[in-house]
Amino acid sequence: MKKVGIIGASGYTGHELVKLLTKHSGVELAFLNSHSYSGKKVSDLYSDFADEKLQYTDCSVEEINKMDVDLVFLALPAGHAIEISNQLDSGVKIVDLGADFRFKDMQKYKEVYNVETDLENNDAVYGLPELFRNEIKNAKIVANPGCYATACILASLPIVKFAKYIVFDCKSGWSGAGKESRYAKNPAMLKDNLIPYKLTKHRHKYEVEQFIKTPLSFTPHVLETFRGLMSTCHVLLNDKVNPLQLYEDFYKSEPFVSVSQNIPELTHVVGTNQCNIGGFEVDENNQLVIVSVIDNLLKGASGQAVQNMNLMLGFYEKEGLK
């Protein structure tokens, strides 16, 4: 049995972690840190949680270091994870669900997220198992990818060498903005509505560009739904290709990616750690359209974090995520 804990357990992604980890056969939850809700029952904050005993904690880093934990999940705003990771014992593995370790170029990270950090050499592994499974297995720190970045990278990676330009037209449920967002405080603003934002400079665009070197554009929208994320990728091709066969071959051994000529829908993946990729229609201008869908709180956040934990701690990769 491995001992794990969460710092930032009361947010949407933190809560998804709590739900997944309490059902995981190989781990024990040592602490659920939430400064705002310390001492309160998880079930008081989230009605979908049945355990009437589990409570939020507010353990100091010094106290955590005495617990002999194997891994800590950090679900914190940008700029906080690096500081905490430096204080945790060297033997503690970390999965950071925030942005602090996602960029190898720390100067780029500081520019994109407008934060200051003294970290110059980022040795964390980017936590997309479909790209870096072996590296994740041996990592001390894993940077869990952003939700949009996950859907966009998986949707476009196999086709990059055939692409002149890629446009990502993305839509997500409002949970992706977090508990303190204007959508969480006033869901009525999304009633019968679809809201585009950050038309050209969303943070996840720069995250995607680390792995997708083809020139690209990215625009996100918020949907009138709590969870789920769709990326419609328009790929201007520079050559003829059989995209369906290409994707089936690329992802044939991946436990959480499925490929089909059918057009994916959000309802196919909500509540799962799955990424469904489909469509694969090419128009008369040799433009390929691919659709990928994920649950932004699972494969786009907490589910992928548990998938990474499974790899880091030697569990079966699908443990707790079936």
Enzyme catalytic residues: 147
Measured between alpha carbons, how far is residue 309 from residues 9, 94, 128, 195, 282 in Å? 16, 9, 12, 34, 38
- Going by C-alpha positions, the residue among 320, 319, 317 that lies closest to residue 255 is 317
Q: Return the closest-CA partner of residue 291 out of 241, 244, 231.
A: 231
What's the distance, CA 175 to chain centroid? 13
Rounded CA-CA distance 85/40 in Å is: 26
State the alpha helices, DSSP H only, in the chain: 12-21, 42-45, 61-65, 81-87, 106-113, 129-137, 147-156, 182-185, 203-208, 243-250, 302-313
What is the spatial distance between Cα 179 and Cα 257, in angstroms, rounded to a whole number? 28
Pairing of the two strands 27-33 and 2-7 = parallel
Beta carbons within 10 angstroms of residue 316's beta carbon: 13
